[in-house]
């Protein structure tokens, strides 16, 4: 977890001096992500702050920030309305540059796969295991739903997909064996986050590129598990009308990607 003291939160999140500064979760190129609370002290939120960029002209900067926050909030609201699992939008202020969303208790797919794949010496990750294949299938379903409502994410990575961990009473992980414990980390609802680059589109090309970006992300963050992505695509292909055409288009996108990497 990146911790920093140099960043200041936007109002009203900067007001109370008695409580400790909320943790900075990540610092992207454009935005800072904090975990804090909003409206009630027991409502945890993900606060995305887009601080003013001094290298940009102030008028342009204000316009860009407003457009991005509104675009992200609108896509999130549309997804929620149409049944795609995303964090709820709780508030936004484009003048101050922030967007507040429901905090998802869980981990990124990246962290979940890391935890599953990082075995102790001598132990092999079972890539055909039901837990991990189930998780891949749920990713396929959620992506199909997203594309099915006419939204393309634009930045699908294993850090922009989360698994919501269900907290159950007496779920003593300590009492489980190592294998079972790992399987547990794969359970839970898949939630799509980070709609900063999302667009509305029903084009096969845009959908195929969306999948290709995630396929590449899988390959680079979890090279041992590249084969797992096939399961994402298999389930995606069966989850909405038009998905099969997108998968055929994906083959073209891959070919172009390969040619490009041979030239460049």
Ligand X SMILES: Nc1ncnc2c1ncn2[C@@H]1O[C@H](COP(=O)(O)OP(=O)(O)O)[C@@H](O)[C@H]1O
Binding site for ligand X (CB under 6 A): 25-26, 28, 31, 33, 46, 48, 87, 101-104, 108, 159-160, 193-194, 196
Token pair recorded at residue 27: 């610092």
Distance from C-alpha of 153 to C-alpha of 146, rounded to nearest angstrom: 8
CA angle, residues 229, 149, 239, in degrees to nearest 5: 40
Active site residue 155: yes
209 binds, among Mg ion, ligand X, none (CB under 5 to 8 A by kind): none
Nearest to 35 by CA among 105, 97, 135: 105
- Select 96 or 194, whichever has its Cβ closest to Mg ion: 194
Site string for Mg ion, 211-230 (x = CB under 5 A): --------------------
Catalytic residue among 114, 120, 155, 171: 155
221 binds, among ligand X, Mg ion, none (CB under 5 to 8 A by kind): none
Distance from C-alpha of 228 to C-alpha of 232, rounded to nearest angstrom: 7
108 binds, among Mg ion, ligand X, none (CB under 5 to 8 A by kind): ligand X
The distance of closest approach from Cβ of residue 222 to Mg ion in the complex, given in angstroms and rounded to an integer, is 17
Question: For 110, how many CA atoms within 13 A lie in the half-sphere containing its CB?
Answer: 15
The distance of closest approach from Cβ of residue 136 to ligand X in the complex, given in angstroms and rounded to an integer, is 19
Helix/strand/coil for 105: coil
The distance of closest approach from Cβ of residue 155 to ligand X in the complex, given in angstroms and rounded to an integer, is 7
Phi-psi region of 188 (alpha: psi -120 to 50; beta: other; left: phi over 0): left
> Segment near Mg ion (CB under 5 A), from 50-58, 111-119, 155-163, 219-227?
155-163
Q: Is 160 in the site for Mg ion (CB under 5 A)?
A: yes
Q: Is 194 in the site for Mg ion (CB under 5 A)?
A: yes
Residue 169, φ and ψ in degrees, nearest 5: -60, 135
142 binds, among Mg ion, ligand X, none (CB under 5 to 8 A by kind): none
Q: Which residues participate in catalysis according to the annotation?
A: 155
- The footprint of Mg ion (CB under 5 A) covers 160, 194
């Amino acid at each position: 977890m990146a911790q920093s003291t140099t960043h200041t939160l936007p109002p009203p999140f900067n007001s109370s001096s008695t409580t400790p500064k909320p943790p900075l979760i990540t610092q992207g190129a454009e935005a800072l992500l904090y975990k804090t609370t909003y409206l009630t002290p027991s409502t945890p939120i993900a606060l995305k702050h887009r601080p003013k960029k001094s290298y940009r002209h102030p008028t342009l900067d204000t316009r860009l920030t407003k457009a991005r926050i509104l675009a992200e909030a609108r896509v999130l609201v549309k997804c929620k309305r149409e049944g795609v699992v995303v964090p709820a939008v709780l508030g936004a202020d484009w003048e101050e540059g922030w967007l507040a969303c429901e905090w998802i208790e869980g981990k990124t797919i990246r962290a979940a796969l890391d935890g599953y794949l990082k075995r102790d010496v001598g132990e092999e990750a079972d890539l055909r295991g039901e837990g991990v294949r189930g998780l891949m299938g749920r990713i396929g379903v959620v992506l199909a739903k997203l594309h099915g409502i006419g939204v393309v994410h634009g930045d699908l990575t294993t850090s922009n997909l989360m698994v919501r961990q269900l907290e159950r009473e007496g779920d003593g992980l300590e009492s489980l064996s190592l294998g079972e414990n790992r399987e547990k980390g794969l359970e839970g609802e898949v939630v799509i986050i980070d709609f900063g680059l999302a667009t509305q589109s029903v084009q096969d090309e845009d959908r195929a590129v969306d999948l290709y970006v995630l396929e590449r992300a899988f390959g680079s963050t979890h090279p041992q598990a590249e084969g797992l992505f096939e399961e994402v695509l298999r389930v995606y292909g069966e989850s909405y009308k038009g998905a099969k055409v997108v998968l055929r288009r994906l083959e073209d996108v891959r070919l172009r990607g390969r040619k490009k990497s041979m030239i460049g």
